[in-house]
A and B are shown apart, each in its own frame.
Chain A
């Protein structure tokens, strides 16, 4: 039973049977007074209010957004309170001040480093000759945990030339350096399969990693320098096996066959783990700027060259493996945020859609019931019959495929196809009420049909309408969640259904990500329990035959 909110015809049959007894109808305030005497109803209302408050305060309770691109920590991060203290937590640091650590100059090249007011630095290199400048960050990122699985470094810089000067050749290579590992000269030993089944040991220096190199990124491996003004705003997200292949020590292997083998082996290495190899380690950013302007080299065609590199502060985000109240999803989104916004959508949209459905049912039911037997009535009855035949879920899928999978389309179809049950029952109530004495009296006084319907019949139905709205909400929310589970939901909607969809299809079960599995399911159960406990209490009062 109740596989969908529309499937419950048997309930309608009993409701129809009950209406034949013409019960005394209670007003809304009487009904609510009776309801608040019941313990279950109070529990239900408190659950609803709890969810509504949590959902309503979502922007206050969480600084993040439920969108998929709002990555707050590593994927499948456990809740903060459930992880031991040495498990990686988020480390976020913006490195703003830089200094020149090393400067090698030939010819009459001048190098000038100025700090920028908003952080970062600006290097101006002029003259003919070559230069190699190593700019390093003053601050370091102290990393106190076990190695994290991933990190995210935001790099933004642009290069330009001085007015009236020639264009020099250059390269800007941003490196992330682990001070401790480099000082100790640690090496990573790769076991590379050699020719004839032998195993070659190849040593890769540990502790530094090229995050963004203009030449390897823009030109490939053909030249050592680049010319032209560019703007770079690139998140370097590690691990990235493609980036592993572009490391200078891999590039420097001359034999292509060996290089490919080593690169393949090194591609499997998690660069983030390599950089954060031990607890209490220190990381800094180094920017290596090389400059080449030789008028005698007619191939390179540079005369009186210049280069300006403006480098923004670098944001280092080491993604934790434990985060927040409820951890993260497979995409690194905050589960707690998604849950809160899901509660907000569920309560708001559930109540809204239930109210709209009930309103449509009321209008149709009144119109059909007040003139039972007329053409209007027959047409409306026929329409409700037709709608009973149309399977809801396949129709939602068809509409989603044709018009797009938006929350609006989904709920529009749900509303269009779920009012008929209520309309039938309201029609029956209206038929019963129509023949009551005060309606006769109003008619005799010359009241219009519209007035009688709205002033004399509709107010009588208010407790039933409230009951209907309350009992429809869980069905609406579950339906949306079910459609999400089929993959036909709105992929942008911040609903529990989308959480369930992502959780089911993105491996939460096999990863045993209980912090991600339980919240949406528990949220749906809480919502349903709240509304159904409240609705059951209303039902016993609205349908007096059940009162014992």
Chain B
């Protein structure tokens, strides 16, 4: 079986999975509420949300349009399901029920906020983890290694939001309550969407800093531990022994032999981080009132804003497909044994 066939097969498998995921999402969000209400279509939360907005006469036009777009008056399966799949696969998400603006625009406006936070907090922990992990591996068995590893494990076990709460309490609320000064801002007045001047940009950075700090603390530990374990296990391999026996310096042996072997799993892990770009850290965004995509979708969920919910969900799932595809193709490129299976 050639690499091309393998890639094609993987692609088809992932695509089918994607379709099944979309359908199961439709069943959970559109069919289950109706089933839970005993088949009563009037209990559909989407219709209820529409009815709520329909009280405003200005929106009667687009309500008709929404009903037509989702085929709300037709049976759920198969008519609405097919319409939904068609809309989602062509990225035609419609208009948000809550904000009454096109979903794509709403997401595009908020994406930079999620993206800026998420990219920094994905890449910086890897860099920190890479260097600290290699330092720990070099000193394996010594007290420096133990100290690094135990700190890393301690911080890795904490979820990010818990660290964020601690950061907010100690660095934002305590200085405010005790000395009436601000080190970090309280998560009360989020930056506005759309940056117009330098002052706003500075406030945005300041507002983001506790989130960044918490994310770096919480998310570096795992990488440190993971990379240290990878490097240590590579250092136990025969080729490393051979390299040392040849008389190579430990530093050179590490950079020429071990690190190239450590890189592929790292690239794969990075690929698995792709889906998060869209959703970001949902709890982070919500407790900080960060105006990102996840916070928007959280509000959409509270208002049962189906267009936004489906857009959020399908884009996340699509990014997962992409990341899995990249990861599996990379895996083929570095390890031909995988292709033969089992």
Contact = CB atoms under 8 A, between A and B. Distances in A.
A and B: bona fide binding partners: yes
Interface of A: 1-3, 7-11, 13-14, 372-373, 382, 385-386, 388-391, 393-395, 397-399, 401-403, 431, 474, 478, 481-482, 485-486, 500, 504, 509-512, 517, 521, 524-525, 528-529, 532, 536, 545-546, 548
Contact of B178 (A373, A388, A431, A512): A512
Contacts of A391: 279, 313, 316-317
A1 B228 CA distance: 14
Contacts of A474: 157
A524 B282 contact: no
| Most chain B beta-carbon neighbours within 10 Å: one of A372, A388, A509 | A509
Given A1-B219, A478-B162, A546 B301 contact: no
B144 interface: no
Contacts of A548: 140-141
A435 B33 CA distance: 47
Given A389-B18, A532-B153, A478 B159 contact: yes
B342 A373 contact: yes
Nearest to A431: B342
B269 A9 contact: yes
Given A1-B226, A486-B286, A397 B301 contact: yes
Given A388-B320, A389-B321, A509 B173 contact: yes
A328 B112 CA distance: 42
Contact of B174 (A401, A512, A546): A512
B223 A1 contact: yes
B120 interface: no
Given A9-B272, A482-B161, A521-B166, A3 B229 contact: no
Given A1-B219, A10-B265, A510-B177, A485 B287 contact: yes
B158 interface: yes
Interface residues of B, number: 70
A14 B229 contact: yes
A485 B156 CA distance: 20
Interface stretch (B24-32, B92-100, B201-209): B24-32
B33 A13 contact: no
Interface in B281-335: 281-283, 286-287, 297-298, 301, 304, 309, 312-313, 316-317, 320-321, 324
Interface of B: 13, 17-18, 20-21, 24-25, 28-29, 32-33, 36, 45, 125, 140-141, 153-154, 156-162, 165-166, 168-169, 173-174, 176-178, 186, 219, 221-223, 226, 229-230, 232-233, 236, 265, 268-269, 272, 276, 279, 281-283, 286-287, 297-298, 301, 304, 309, 312-313, 316-317, 320-321, 324, 341-342
Contacts of A388: 320, 324
Contacts of B268: 10, 13
A538 to B, nearest CB: 14
B5 to A, nearest CB: 18
Nearest to B14: A385
A528 B153 CA distance: 11
A398 B24 contact: no
Contacts of A373: 341-342
Given A1-B223, A10-B268, A401-B301, A394 B174 contact: no
| Most chain A beta-carbon neighbours within 10 Å: one of B158, B166, B223, B321 | B158
Contacts of B297: 394
12 contacts: A10-B265, A372-B342, A373-B342, A389-B320, A391-B316, A394-B282, A394-B309, A394-B313, A401-B304, A482-B161, A521-B162, A524-B162
A389 B174 CA distance: 40
A389 B17 contact: yes
A500 B165 contact: yes
A395 B165 contact: no
A525 B125 CA distance: 21
| Most chain B beta-carbon neighbours within 10 Å: one of A10, A391, A510, A529 | A10
Contacts of B309: 394, 398
B22 to A, nearest CB: 9
Contacts of B222: 1-2, 8
Nearest to A503: B165
B283 A403 contact: no
Contacts of A546: 229, 232-233
Contact of B28 (A398, A525, A532): A398
Contacts of A482: 159, 161, 283
Contacts of A528: 157-158
A372 B341 CA distance: 10
Nearest to A532: B157
A401 B304 CA distance: 9
Nearest to B176: A510
Given A10-B268, A372-B342, A474-B157, A393 B283 contact: yes
A548 B265 CA distance: 22
A485 B272 contact: no
Contact of B36 (A386, A393, A403): A403
Contact of A485 (B36, B161, B174, B233): B161
A19 to B, nearest CB: 12
Nearest to B278: A391
A234 B226 CA distance: 61
A510 B165 CA distance: 13
Nearest to A512: B177
Contacts of A545: 233, 236
Contacts of A2: 156, 222
Nearest to A505: B287
A156 to B, nearest CB: 42
A1 B283 CA distance: 15
A509 B169 contact: yes
A86 to B, nearest CB: 23
| Most chain B beta-carbon neighbours within 10 Å: one of A8, A9, A395, A500 | A9
Contacts of B313: 391, 394
B13 to A, nearest CB: 8
